[in-house]
Structure 1
Amino acid sequence: MTLTSGTVVTYPSGAVSSRGTVVHVADAGDGRSAVVLDQTAFHPVDTAWPDQPADRGTLRVGAGEFAVVDAVVGATQGDGLLLGPDVPVRTGTEGWTFVVAHIVEDGAAIAAGDTVEVTVDAGYRAALSAGHTACHLASLALDAALAGAWRKQVQTDALGAPAFDALALQESRILPDGSRDVYRIGKSLRRKGFDPEALADLDDLAARISAQLAQWIAAGGAVRIERKGDTLADRRAWVCELPADEARIPCGGTHLASLRELAAATVAFTSTPVEGGFELVMTTTAERA
């Protein structure tokens, strides 16, 4: 088995259906098969940063329809296909070929050369896209709200504020119409110059962030995905027009096409003590228009 070309992906443009040709079928374990196409609208979960879940949907091959139970990134250096957690490098690493592996329960009836109709669950995709767009907005609003809490110069975010989100983030998960982001507030962040007292009143912080989100959403700015190429491995960025500036964040996920598709977005916080500090969780809830 030799895969020399990565999968062409059409989901960055919002596509929820596509037609592709099977280039490889691999054993995915537990009786399941990994179906690799030359192109697909199906968004897979990324191994290195699994923030957005895989799409849901089906593959139609001839008269047969196969439910896609998962979709993961696959990678090869020319011989042998590694799937999901077994991929040892980040997507885009030079010298590797990256593909979308559609996992089905039994792919014995699918063979290389077959034409496949891909259908994505559009409702689920829309909910994840709303959650992902709101997640980026919330991270920018969080950075802005905490801009005065820094005593030292640190890296900045897409709008020029100190990048609390990037410096403290431990885990991010995109949910249907929302997200959950976990931050670690400990010695490392304090050494960088952050004052944890800025997080003393989480209700006030949530109110200020939610107010900022309301202003941005009311402006109804356009959202687009910029990409260097059409394959899974090519770099992509989320770009959003906001009243004061244009925000650009590297991102391989799916998004809404405009903030007009959101009616509202709000955040809430919880905190839990951990050794050396505490863990802060920001939950973002998006309401679609």
Structure 2
Amino acid sequence: MSATRVTFPAGAVTGQAAVVRTAGGVVVLDVTPFHPVDHTWPDQPGDCGVLRSGDDRVRVVEAVMAATDAEGTLFVGTDIPVKRGAEGWTWLVGHRLETDAPAWLVPGATVTAEVDAVRRAALSRGHSACHLSSLALDLALADLWRKDPGTDPLGSPDFESRANQSSSIHADGSVDGYRLGKSLRKAGFDSAGFAASLPERAERINAQLAAWVAVGGTSRIAVEGPTITDRRTWECTLPEGEVGFACGGTHVGSLSAFSAITVALDLSDPQLLVMTTTAVPV
């Protein structure tokens, strides 16, 4: 069995494929447009949609990561005991069905895989907006560092990488959590100064996001290969220059997909910043 080839980085939402393996309610195809949820960093939900063959159809409730070990044992989703890309494993996309695989879904059968394109587009907007918000956050907090924490893709002090502990992408938005604990203060971040200027920081972020949306730069996914574990990078053209993040998710093709992106900052717990990003589509 070979690693699953994926077409979602190029924006595909449909395609022909051959069934490689079934296991209960999970189907593995040789190639798929479905984006799977990552089992180790499940920020973006997996795609849903349908598999079709002639008049037969079955619903895919979520695409998930799957993998086989050296003995060929199949592991699915959170049951995978190793990190994505671990050597000695074959990495796959599993299509979790609403029922056990019907009789027509047998190895070798040809099917049409169709992603829910409306949901995909909303998740893509949410993911791109999440990355843009993190860049704007780093810019807005740049003057609060007394030491160099390293830099983000725009050259700002990298608060995102230092403090982010959770990220959840949803349709047209995201929620990110940042730990403001002792280790961050030791790294040189002025948490007290941040708390005292929270409304001003939110205004800076939203002004920066509005400026980027107004320009409408291009956005794309660069790939190093066709399989699910080949490195993928989100790249975006901003007035300040080209930026990029290693990212396994899906994204918009241009910032012109947005009419607005805004954030709200919540510091109800002084040890935890919650940033909620909302994207408004055109």
Assess same fold via TM > 0.5: yes
Whole-Å separation in 1 of the counterparts to 2:224 and 2:46: 22
2:68 matches 1:76: yes
Matches within 5 A, 1:96-111: 96-104=89-97, 105-109=99-103, 110-111=105-106
Aligned to 1:148: 143
- Please report how far the alpha carbon of residue 213 of structure 1 lies from its aligned counterpart in structure 2 after TM superposition: 0.4
Q: Deviations over 1:150-191 (max 9, x none)?
A: 111112111111110111011000010000001110001111
- Please report how far the alpha carbon of residue 149 of structure 1 lies from its aligned counterpart in structure 2 after TM superposition: 0.8
Unmatched tracts of structure 1, length 5 or more: 28-32
User: Could you say what secondary structure the match of 2:57 adopts?
Assistant: strand
- Please report how far the alpha carbon of residue 26 of structure 1 lies from its aligned counterpart in structure 2 after TM superposition: 1.2
- Please report how far the alpha carbon of residue 205 of structure 1 lies from its aligned counterpart in structure 2 after TM superposition: 1.3
- Please report how far the alpha carbon of residue 108 of structure 1 lies from its aligned counterpart in structure 2 after TM superposition: 3.5
Tell me, yes or no, if the aligned pair for 1:74 and 1:83 is still in contact at 8 Å: yes
Tell me, yes or no, if the aligned pair for 1:199 and 1:205 is still in contact at 8 Å: no
Whole-Å separation in 2 of the counterparts to 1:95 and 1:209: 44
Amino acid at match of 2:84: T
Q: Paired residue for 1:261, among 237, 257, 263?
A: 257
- Please report how far the alpha carbon of residue 147 of structure 1 lies from its aligned counterpart in structure 2 after TM superposition: 0.7
Aligned to 2:22: 25
- Please report how far the alpha carbon of residue 216 of structure 1 lies from its aligned counterpart in structure 2 after TM superposition: 0.8
2:224 matches 1:231: no
Aligned to 2:215: 219
Whole-Å separation in 2 of the counterparts to 1:16 and 1:253: 14
Amino acid at match of 2:156: A
Matches within 5 A, 1:145-184: 145-184=140-179
State how many pairs are aligned.
278
The two structures have a TM-score, normalised by structure 2, of 0.96
Whole-Å separation in 1 of the counterparts to 2:48 and 2:204: 35
Matches within 5 A, 1:1-289: 3=1, 5-27=2-24, 33-78=25-70, 79-104=72-97, 105-109=99-103, 110-196=105-191, 197-273=193-269, 278-289=271-282
* Structure 1 runs (4+) greater than 4 angstroms displaced: none
- Please report how far the alpha carbon of residue 111 of structure 1 lies from its aligned counterpart in structure 2 after TM superposition: 0.7
Whole-Å separation in 1 of the counterparts to 2:82 and 2:156: 31
Tell me, yes or no, if the aligned pair for 2:195 and 2:267 is still in contact at 8 Å: no
Amino acid at match of 1:26: A
Q: Deviations over 1:49-99 (max 9, x none)?
A: 100001121111342111111211001123101111111222222222110
Amino acid at match of 1:72: V
Whole-Å separation in 1 of the counterparts to 2:102 and 2:114: 20
Amino acid at match of 1:159: L
Query: What's the % identity of the aligned pairs?
Result: 53
The two structures have a TM-score, normalised by structure 1, of 0.94
Aligned to 1:30: none
